[in-house]
Amino acid sequence: MDTKTITKPKLTMEAYMELSKKWAVFLLKDMFLGAKRFNDFLEVHPEISNRVLSDQLKGLEKYGYIKKIIVSTTPLKAEYELDELGLSLNKMLYEKAMWAIKHGLGSRNDNYFKGKDIEKAFGIKK
């Protein structure tokens, strides 16, 4: 019997650097409220190209921040959701957002949050 051992991706410098890519934090933030489809991301971020979005999602998946779930095969439909490593970033990303707001780099009402409660957007319980 051929069995494969599934191991967690090791947090390497490459995995850490994946978070510095232009859209990574925005895509992760979007998934704190639940699984998203490819077109959901495009709807929220119309300025991102299909190719860049695809590359960013593949990178986040490769390093274990998110997982791709096939919902249907005909037609092919997939959803992306946070994996354990991605979920562990919620407090850090929330603090980063609050820092930006405190220093005038954004507001609770800007397009980044689309009018949603910031704490809810990051899964932070008040």
Q: Cα(115)–Cα(60) distance, rounded to whole angstroms?
A: 26
User: Between residues 33 and 82, which one has the greater pLDDT?
Assistant: 82
pTM (predicted TM-score):
0.76
SS (H, E, C) the chain: CCCCCCCCCCCCHHHHHHCCCCCHHHHHHHHCCCCEEHHHHHHHCCCCCHHHHHHHHHHHHHCCCEEEEEEEECCEEEEEEECHHHHCCHHHHHHHHHHHHHCCCCCCCCCCCCCCCHHHHCCCCC
Q: How confident is the model at residue 101 (pLDDT cuts 50, 70, 90)?
A: confident
| Assigned architecture for domain 13-121 | Orthogonal Bundle (1.10)
Q: Cα(11)–Cα(78) distance, rounded to whole angstroms?
A: 25
Lowest mean pLDDT among 3-7, 36-40, 47-51: 3-7
Answer yes or no: are the C-beta atoms of 57 and 80 closer than 8 Å.
Answer: yes
Residue 113 reports pLDDT greater than 70: no
Q: Cα(79)–Cα(28) distance, rounded to whole angstroms?
A: 13
Lowest mean pLDDT among 49-53, 66-70, 86-90: 86-90
User: pLDDT at position 104, please?
Assistant: 73
